[in-house]
Structure 1
């Protein structure tokens, strides 16, 4: 039995005066279909208790939609909540428990100050890492700096690469009537924007948003079928992962989705990739197998991700331009794909091929990720290819230093509530172990710099250049 998307709708994203219920009602209304025959409602919100002060929200939403006699449940997996709610609604229809299901995902975030929202979002981070003052942008920046180091990408090339992502997604945001940002940006605007957590600037980070998405799932045959769907998880703490520049959770989710669909990355016509941070679009394309790592810079330089390119990516504007109401984003990606497949986008950016699409959604710092493959019913796509998502990198047999050294670093400017700005953070490696610390050295941090570590009374670790290193620098300066 297949599971089909019968209808889909979005609310307008952005800083909205509407409350959470009005946003949901707007998305449901925009589906333009009768919902009185649904058997159950699956609702995804990440943190309505903190953002809106409403608990037991599944019952509350059903009451306001006039559907209070049928089953309802709320699902949450951090910023992949919208994809998770579709995943479990899909399972309920596929199993035959329900025939028609209404899937809703939403978040209302903009009524709070930025540092308060930052702190709430940081609650999904491992407590030990959160204690240092780390936020989601800070962890994303640590991943980005390490990615550049491992792939020998120079600082100026990295900035250009990240700009290409932001430029593309802002370009397409102007065509999306539901998007928060509908203006293009140029390199001068991008490079002058405020640093959030080095090297990530304001235009590298998706905005705080309000918004909702709705999907009507059914076992009745429709035009768009959910061909494959996969979920993958990883260690909660970024420091406890062997590799931080590639997300095992995405690879596992992609493997399961492709296996279910009987397809390979070569069969995907276009994609919606989770770009809460511009580097995550880059790593998302690599982890799903859509673009080879060796080709990633060329992919952006040659604009192969545009609507007339080899693999259109985030032509909805992505989270970066459409907005990122965290609970809604994963389902919004699916709605965008549905609209593109049904020709509901501007003719200027219509696609030559749009029979098979992939969405990828990241939960937390890649601890709970989803990949969904949608297919137009009747499209003749039969793949004989298979893709191996195992990381083929061989671990180097190198001597791990007993002396702690910097594995990655960032300077965080938009700090959570109660933490002074700027905050220098380093990921420290000692033998096989990694951990986060606040950096207080006079020497500019760089990967490989040897450190001394001190634990203060507040329980926070502080790192500073190892004494022997400082002496070497002084001797060199004297000689000069």
Structure 2
């Protein structure tokens, strides 16, 4: 079956600001709109003039919560002196920039417009890290977030699942994670626009553990295993007028909003589906045939995501999970499948809704500057790994001289499904007092300074009416010792005490947070009181 392909769309120009914090300390102090003004640089070497722009498409994650800015598309169009054009804001969480690009592409491919300006922008440094974490938690399922699930916790659950499936000890995981971090910084150090523009060799990774700088955050992930929170603006001009770089394919897909109910935490179906649609549009039937001609710019905010991404995008076998990215002959600058040569999210930084567009600008520059590489793939993840976008840019001559007939992909994975609404933790107890369940994954959050646990998250599977369902629950720090020994596959018991409270292995289940009407997650008062007492008892100040 063939796939519809509209008019050809080209990239006329692209730009990206430096990635970092424009807070007056790390970089010059810029407010949101001063940062947005930098997007005008895209016109400096563009064959398309500002007066020719028919539409302005902006991608940004929750700019009202971060910066108090609404009606953003029109405001940015006005700042850039573009009047009369269509303007729109797209928010698909951290894939917003990539989604904006896809929307701009479709505006031209449909024949509606000739030239579209696409912008990705995010300014996270206007607020504290704590408040930023609360805003970002708004993309997570309400119930799971109230039990304590955050985006870093998602990354930790994925890492724990990888460890279990591949029989990795904590020591082996740390060795692998240290090498991934060193790799990201190796390339970021060569990227003058990167946030983490410095080397971080494996020796420093471990010495920083000893000195308390690379502290355990969400088990098994440490401080150096996470991307920084960044500011940036990036833009490109899409056009129907032929240029050196063509948009060969775009694809996007969603997954369910919950983490617990997914059949696997070591593959991301939305990435697989999005990439297969992009490959189909580009007429690429065997992606590995792009060997020695492709750069992959993939979304790796936490150590553990990168290896999974390379399998899901079709470049790596599962047997290469822990070797592909560490083998320079495979994924290095001169490797068969060059990957994240600008540092990735871990090295370059992750300005949320701008990241997808920063990847586009980087790939555009790579294709224009590197004669060996002819195809550049960008991969962006939105929300809790459930709103993903894949975009393929290509040297136009290369595209025109290879088989490029589009096709509709058929090798798509089965999508995850949410459990029926009437199935809940309460439902499990409707006809029984005690329930046997199986651990799927778990993680604990630790205080950065004291190292004491702050909460415990457990994903488990239990049967109801002969079908298995998965749930995520949380409990307080005082129960860490009771649950830390549990491993995936272990049995556990759920029951109720005399007051009706739910227990897991005799430990009370508790909601760590509650969501307010404005979408911000607030730590529950009783939990904070209990945590404060524990820290005080241990001689620490919160």
Shift of 1:460: 9.4
CA-to-aligned-CA distance 1:1-39 (integer Å, 9 cap, x gap):
210000000111111021222222213315523422111
Matches within 5 A, 1:319-358: 319-343=345-369, 353-358=372-377
The aligned counterpart of 2:249 is 228
The aligned counterpart of 2:470 is 434
Rounded Cα–Cα distance in structure 2 between residues aligned with 1:225 and 1:455: 61
Residue 106 (structure 1) aligned with residue 149 (structure 2):
no
Residue 369 (structure 1) aligned with residue 375 (structure 2):
no
Alpha carbons of 1:270 and 1:450: their partners in 2 closer, same or farther (altered >3 Å)? same
Alpha carbons of 1:210 and 1:301: their partners in 2 closer, same or farther (altered >3 Å)? closer
Shift of 1:126: 0.5
Structure 1: gaps spanning 5 or more residues: 344-350, 393-400, 468-480
Question: With structure 2 as the length reference, what TM-score do the two structures score?
Answer: 0.78
The 3-state SS of whatever aligns with 2:340 is: coil
Matches within 5 A, 1:14-93: 14-16=20-22, 17-32=29-44, 33=46, 34-93=49-108
Shift of 1:315: 0.4
Shift of 1:165: 2.3
Give the aligned CA root-mean-square deviation in angstroms: 2.7
Matches within 5 A, 1:38-437: 38-191=53-206, 192=209, 193-263=214-284, 264-268=286-290, 269-303=294-328, 304-343=330-369, 353-379=372-398, 380-382=401-403, 389-390=411-412, 403-413=436-446, 422-431=454-463, 432-437=468-473
CA-to-aligned-CA distance 1:87-115 (integer Å, 9 cap, x gap):
11100000110000000010110121111
Question: With structure 1 as the length reference, what TM-score do the two structures score?
Answer: 0.87
The 3-state SS of whatever aligns with 2:124 is: coil
The 3-state SS of whatever aligns with 1:236 is: coil
Alpha carbons of 1:294 and 1:213: their partners in 2 closer, same or farther (altered >3 Å)? same
Residues 352-361 or 440-449, more deviating = 440-449
Residues 440-449 or 363-372, more deviating = 440-449
Given that 2:121 and 2:351 are in contact with CA atoms closer than 8 Å, whether structure 1 keeps it comes out as yes
Shift of 1:308: 1.8
Residues 186-195 or 196-205, more deviating = 186-195
